[in-house]
Structure 1
Amino acid sequence: MNQMHFHVIKEDDLFLVCRPDGEVPDPVEDSFGYGLYTRDTRMLSRLTFSVRDVSWRLLHADTSANYQAVYRYSSGGCGNQADLSQQTLFLTRRRFVTGNDLVEEGIIENFSNERITLDMVYQVAADFRDLFEVRGYSPADLHRTISCAQSSVSLVFSYVALDGVACKTTLDLHVLPEEEDVQDESGVNAQRDAHQDAREERKVSTSVDHAAGQLSFGIAVPARGKRRWFLRVRPEVAGRLHPNLPNGAVHASQEHTSHRAWVSGSPERMAQQYADWMDSVPRVDGDEGFASWYERGMRDVRMLLTHLGYGPFPVAGVPWYAVPFGRDSLITALEILICRADIARGTLATLAALQGVTRDARRDEQPGKIIHELRVGELTRIGELPFGPYYGSVDATPLFLCLAAEYLAWTGDLAFIRALLPVVERAFHWMDHDGDRDGDGWIEYFREAERGIANQGWKDSGDAVSHVDGRLAEPPVALCEVQAYAHRAHAAWARIYRLLGAPDRAEAHHRRARQLAARFLETFWLASEGLVAFGLDAEKRPIGTAASNMGHCLWGGVLPADVARQVADRLLQPDMFSGYGIRTLSTREVRYNPLSYHNGTVWPHDNAIILAGFAQYGLSGAVAKLAGALLRVSAQFEMRRLPELFGGLSASEAPHPVPYPVSCSPQAWAAATPAMVLQSVLGMQPDVPQGRVFIHPVLPEGCDRLLVQRIRLGEGNLSLDLRRDPFGRTQVKVLENTTGCRVEQGVKGGMPWLAEAGI
């Protein structure tokens, strides 16, 4: 089973990255990037625990709750206490994040018949480095002066950034006295009397050394007894994320004199929030593997949600992309529409607030353009980097329009769509003007920002877009999938404008979609190779490499049915399909490398969009095959958590998928993949405004039943039972339908908004 070489726990904008043994080592000793982060800033760069003369052996680690991590160790020897054998002491370190604080609870249990005296030390440090520095970017002439103050039980690290923003990390230590100690592991004892706080402060024996970055304390553990302590880490960063975002809350808590005020109930409260979240999404049963994969994905999506003032919004992933993104957040929201449409609404509203308003070449910004990402670390704030926000995504704007249309299809929320119209119209204007800089009808990208991103599609690494001879494509580049997204946007909004009573606008978008589809087939379809060109380069020459992007064109609905079938067949050939998933690049291509970020690896979200395209054209065999592969590969990863990407070696070359060394995990669009797979195997396309929902179910290979309950449509629920009959066919039964929509089955329902528009 593939395991990551780091653990992450997260809530809102606060997350901790540590080694699998629970430690956050000195970055000089291990430069991976472990630490406690908020606002793109490492607020704690070291957190290690030791007991003098005692060595520890990790027994078990559990981070499955996402907001909490539990590490259990046994003693490997007790130094100067020679009469004590190994495994005499049992240490539990339990951490949780609340969005404001990181709290560690420590418990040492003594299973000997003798009292043991121990000297404990936390080594801590805060370097306040920008996340880009942590990842290797070296700004010129940036030297930080970090101060540290102390009290008997606290350390406070402080730093004032070059732009005047104040950063502070406070560490508070509370050691419970022996006679007051508790015998439960929950961290809460409601029976403790009101005088405990004062007794704690009187009995604790601690020392703080800010020069050495130490919080140390001595305890005596009774025979057959235990002792307990708490360490709280409280990061604070002043200021707002962005002038257009109302959420300017500083990560801070009130001062408290007792651990109980900031520990009591927090893990239980977080557990209840996750339970409520799982109750709010459809329930999946019938196949244990699919149900487990789906549940892990839903829990990870919940972990990656943040609130920026406009509703729930998914950040891209941890540890490196826990910030607002355009493309990543939009695709995640599209994937999870079957589970929670309110995430789409929150994503649309948040990105609308950050829509481009001017032309700023330093940030690749133009009016109407949707952001690529928003960073708020020091390097961005002082202008060293262009990400506050940065607009270097060519696909985020048409994806925004697609998501808005899909949100309406799932909810019927016409009032929100009306309120969004000015943003929508500016986005379409960008597609027609700045997005099409040479006026040829294709949306192209070209980097203007000196420190921006060269390739501005989802494959945005520097070597991601190349010709068949390996030459990099010269920009401006018109990517195939971007034109398909634009086609879907025009076709869908033709329908929406009819609903809004604007027939002229509807006809204009209808006409644009038909023209785009015809020109796309003529220009991008390479019939002799049986594939869609990756894109067009600066000379308008087709980029003929076989890349997974052509599968997105199926989701965009831009191809006629017979060509769509050929594309699906091409994607499932052995050079593209590894057995674990569809590769980003064919093994036949010059630049193929199974461990190159975009030139041969397998990305779950990429496969999810391709699968949705298969389903949209009613390609049941292709749906069953690819969905089955993704289901099987999920079992190869720890907790069934699909990472951002993994290696492209085939199942015949490697018995298990090869992990990509610095893959984010969890990553939002990978976590949301099982939700889009679920929608695809149901063949589900709702049309709530017209009171109907289309389904064309097909079970994944290796899966004989799926029971899906409480799919939210409009104001009601839909529940479906899929079973494989003795002839291998998928049969479906409607168990519940309170949506007010009639359920229609068949391939014809695959793209109702296209069929209706006559496209």
Structure 2
Amino acid sequence: MDDNGGHQPPGDEGAWNVASTAATALAFYRPRTLKNGSSFLVLDHSGDAQAAGATAEGLFHDDTRFLSRQSIRLAGLRPLLLSSAVSTDNTVLTVSLTNPDIPVGPDRKLVRDSIHVERQMVLGNGLLRERITLRNFSDAPLASELLLSYAADFADIFEVRGHQRARRGERRAPEVRSDGSLVLSYRGLDEVERRTRLRFEPPPEGVPGRDNRWRLDLAPGATRVIDIIITCESGPEAAEAHPPLGFDALLAGIRAWTATREAEQARVSSSNQAFNDWFARSEADLSMLTTETPVGPFPYAGIPWFSCPFGRHSLITAMQCLWADPAMARGVLRFHARAQATTLDPSRDAEPGKILHESRSGEMAALREVPFGRYYGSADATPLFVLLASQYADRTGDWRLVREIWPSIVAALRWIERHGDIDGDLLLEYDRQSANGLMNQGWRDSWDSVFHADGRLAEGPIALIEVQAYAEAAWRGAGRLARALGHENEAEVWTANADALRARVEEAFWCEELSTYAMALDGEKRPCRVRSSNAGHALLTGLACAERAQKIGEVLMAPGSFGGWGIRTVAEGEGRYNPMSYHNGSVWPHDNGLIALGMKRYDLRRPLERLLTGLYDSARALDMHRMPELFCGFPRRPGEAPTSYPVACLPQAWAAASVYAVLGAMLGVSFRPEEKAVRFMRPFLPSWLDELRISNLALGEARLDVRLRRHGPDGSVSLNLLRREGEMEVAVIT
């Protein structure tokens, strides 16, 4: 992700920070969010946007805010909030409101709680439908007025994040069309006209505009319904071929798609309701954040700052979910194969074979005011692409897809060899080419996230430890794929590359005095001797030998790194440690999920169980059991929840996917497609989980339902096969 905060860096090094202001800090009041396709909605608990001041609320589509304000007033006053919630499947926002005491004459008033106002909203791709239902619960006729107000600033998402532009396009006066619709429009500097079209059923009194009024005359028990249809439009205006879907039809379509996705995934339930709530929330968040592309499902990163395609984020999300949802990995691999760079373009940090970092579609991206229209400034996405491809083949045996994307796999490996290794020493380094691209190009991509023990920033080209781990696993995995496809020469060369890289990493990165790997090597090949979570990714891929893996696990779970909720990105006491920073001391759920999978690989049972318990306790303590992008790294204190990070994305896909990594680490799920078998390798259940049920676990066309039960203080499990369709064997390996 792009840097989200911290102290202000010098020069332009923090150019892509999300400004931590009152307008962008969403963590403290937990806004209501919906997403569909390239659209997302951020509202306050009353269902309004920016009704009480400047915030990052509104209706967004294609990285542009098409609705910057919406508010509801009853008799000129803001209604009182009764309740506000998004449905458990993330498809409907329902808000219940009522009237305050409202003077209606010298000696009369409308007594509070007389009128119930229900707002329901459903979001499609470029379409928002709202249904407002008003009912008189008093025993007397009531006369009042409903006011709905709207505005559209057409701000680019980077403007909402706090970036100032020297010039903007032209916002035009509201216009009422012949069909009665209200159009708010803006012609950008990119010569694209963007329009927000509002329709009201029934129409308001008088001419529709920014303020719209309905006279309410409600008999006792009477109900009034008002529907609002808001569409986001870009480019030349054309007559609509079909009217927008109705409220019920739109909702039914979204739920039908969700049901289709659920049928592709394994489902989980347990004896622990808090764990069930965490899993259900994560599952629903991933479903909402996943966009159906022409090549399959693809998880967008997070709301509000990163609701777009990201390279490493989608690859790691798919990796965490792979055991339960291989369809997501299939969609992610196909997407990145199509988006892979084919030319050299320093302005986009693009080189042939490189995998996409980020893709944006707003005005600022089109004008190259930001470099992220199609940007490739990522050192890790390319080896992660190859790594995921090999893991997908191991999981599914889907050699048809492997053959389909084989040219992209080969191109990615050529990039690793020719462009990723800048100085020919076997290690992958990065050094930005784009003048306004990202300074750091690993997953911790803040301007100050790579540094030496004394706090000095590392100068490039920089080689990160986790990127070497991904690359070693990519070479080794590609060697297995090549051998299976009959490419023996490539298999030998690529496996040899993996062996050589592993030896080089052990020689250059290991810090005996720290009992862990250096965070990185700088441009002079000097190690950044900092205890960081980066080293835990070497466990994920199997880079470390068993003895060093044990030492790394101990360092990661020492009090300086593990504060009780999770492992910090940087250990307490290091040069730039700050528990409130974006990348230098905070806790990231996905980072912890990957480390958990690494601990499982080396059978580090005790530290793994402590880590999983910390993550479970975090989810249990957080609002809606929803894992945010990150939270602050303060030590755990009795009776308190993790400390929120003010501009964290919420929800966010790889954070939501961490629960799948947690389960994968507990159960050691692995697959043998050639044997038509699934194995649970040294599974255990922690003390807070007595029973776990997995249904619809798929391998090819076969399906299994299993139940695992915990026995005794050691957490060992027994497995019962509940259902089997098709040919698939299941076994527990202890």
Whether TM-score is above 0.5 comes out as: yes
State the partner residue of 1:174. 201
Structure 2 counterparts to residues 323-362 of structure 1, below 5 A: 323-362=308-347
Q: Secondary structure at the match of 1:349?
A: helix
Aligned mate of 1:105, from 131, 150, 167? 131
SS of corresponding position for 1:169: strand
Structure 2 matches for 1:119-518, cutoff 5 A?
119-151=145-177, 153-175=180-202, 206-208=205-207, 210=209, 213-238=210-235, 254=241, 256=243, 262-286=246-270, 287-518=272-503
Is the Cα–Cα contact under 8 Å of residues 464 and 599 in structure 1 kept in the other structure?
Answer: yes
TM-score in terms of structure 1 length: 0.89
8 Å Cα contact 1:409-1:689 kept in structure 2 = no
Question: Aligned partner of 1:473: which letter?
Answer: A
- Find out whether 1:13 has 2:38 as its counterpart: yes
Residue 263 (structure 1) shift: 2.2
The runs of 5 or more residues in structure 2 that have no matched partner are 1-26
What SS does the aligned partner of 1:677 have?
helix
Measure the CA separation in 2 of the matches of 1:376 and 1:139: 17
Following the alignment from structure 1 to structure 2, what is the Cα–Cα distance between the partners of residues 653 and 84?
47
Q: Which amino acid aligns with 1:706?
A: L
Q: Which residue of the other structure, out of 583, 596, 600, is the alignment partner of 2:568?
A: 583
- The answer to whether the 8 Å contact 2:275/2:620 transfers is no
- Match of 2:419, SS? coil
Compute the displacement of 1:78 (Å): 2.2
Q: CA shift at 1:728, angstroms?
A: 2.7
Q: Return the alpha-carbon distance in structure 1 between the equivalents of residues 161 and 700 of structure 2.
A: 44
Q: Assess, with a 3 A threshold, how the Cα gap between structure 1 residues 720 and 696 changes in structure 2: closer, same or farther.
A: farther
1:31 counterpart = 2:54 = yes
Aligned-partner SS, 2:415: helix
Does the aligned pair in 2 maintain the 1:531–1:550 contact within 8 Å?
yes
SS of equivalent to 2:707: strand
Q: Deviations over 1:505-546 (max 9, x none)?
A: 111111111122122112111122111110101110111111
* Cα distance between partner residues in 2 of 1:273 and 1:345: 17
1:145 Cα deviation after fit: 3.1
- Return the alpha-carbon distance in structure 2 between the equivalents of residues 744 and 443 of structure 1: 39
> Considering only aligned residues, what root-mean-square deviation do their CA atoms show, in Å?
2.1
1:720 lines up with 2:720 in the alignment: no
Q: TM-score, normalised by structure 2?
A: 0.92
| Structure 2 residue aligned with 1:552 | 537
Q: After the TM superposition, which of the residue ranges 219-228 and 568-577 deviates more from structure 2?
A: 219-228
- Cα displacement (A) at 1:83: 4.7
**Residue identity in the other structure for 1:432:** E
Q: Shift in Å at residue 741 of structure 1? A: 5.1
Per-residue CA distance 1:300-357 (angstroms, 9 max, x = gap): 1110111332111111111111101101111111111122211111111111111111
Matched letter for residue 283 of structure 1: R
CA distance in 2, matches of 1:5, 1:729: 36
Aligned partner (choices 62, 65, 68) of residue 42 of structure 1: 65
Tell me what 1:645 maps to. Answer: 630
Listed one character per residue, the Cα deviations across residues 544-576 of structure 1 (whole Å, up to 9, x for unaligned) are 111101101101211111111111111111110
1:570 aligns with 2:566: no
The alpha-carbon distance between structure 1 residues 252 and 720, as it changes in their structure 2 partners (threshold 3 A), is farther
Mapped contact 2:169–2:188 kept (Cα < 8 A): no
Give yes or no for the alignment of 1:700 onto 2:686: yes
CA contact (8 A) 1:395 1:482 kept: yes
- In structure 2, relative to structure 1, the CA distance for the partners of 1:347 and 1:205 (3 Å cut) is closer
Are 1:616 and 2:640 counterparts? Answer: no
Identity of aligned residues (%): 36
Q: Which amino acid aligns with 1:216?
A: R
Deviates more, 1:478-487 or 1:12-21: 12-21
TM superposition shift of 1:73: 1.1
SS of the equivalent of 1:605 reads helix
Change (3 A) 1:299 1:5: closer
Answer yes or no: is the 8 Å Cα contact 1:153–1:215 preserved in 2: no
Secondary structure of 1:635's counterpart equals helix
Separation in 2, partners of 1:557, 1:648: 27
Residues 687 and 715 in structure 2, CA contact (< 8 A), matched pair in contact too: no
| 2:577 is equivalent to residue 596 of structure 1 | no
AA partner of residue 409 (structure 1): D
* Counterpart residue identity of residue 82, structure 2: L
What per-residue deviation string (whole Å, max 9, x for no partner) do you get for residues 266-286 of structure 1? 223433443443344222222
Structure 1 Cα separation of the partners of residues 160 and 715 of structure 2: 52
> Is 1:88 matched with 2:114?
yes
SS in 2 for 1:485: helix
Name the CA distance, whole Å, in 2 between partners of 1:370 and 1:253.
37
Q: Residue 360 of structure 2: SS of its match in structure 1? A: coil
Counterpart Cα distance in 2 of 1:386 and 1:95: 34
CA gap 1:118/1:504 in 2 versus in 1, 3 angstroms: same
Question: Is residue 122–residue 247 contact of structure 2 (8 Å, CA) maintained in 1?
Answer: no
- Return the letter of the residue paired with 1:165: V
Deviations 1:53-81 (A, max 9, x none): 44421010011342221111121112215
Q: Distance between the aligned counterparts of 1:501 and 1:105, measured in 2? A: 59
* Worse-superposed segment, 504-513 or 372-381: 504-513
CA contact (8 A) 1:236 1:252 kept: no
Q: Match for residue 101 of structure 2? A: 77
- How many residue pairs are counted as aligned between the two chains? 701
Q: Residues 254 and 318 of structure 1: is their aligned pair in 2 closer, same or farther, counting only changes over 3 Å?
A: farther
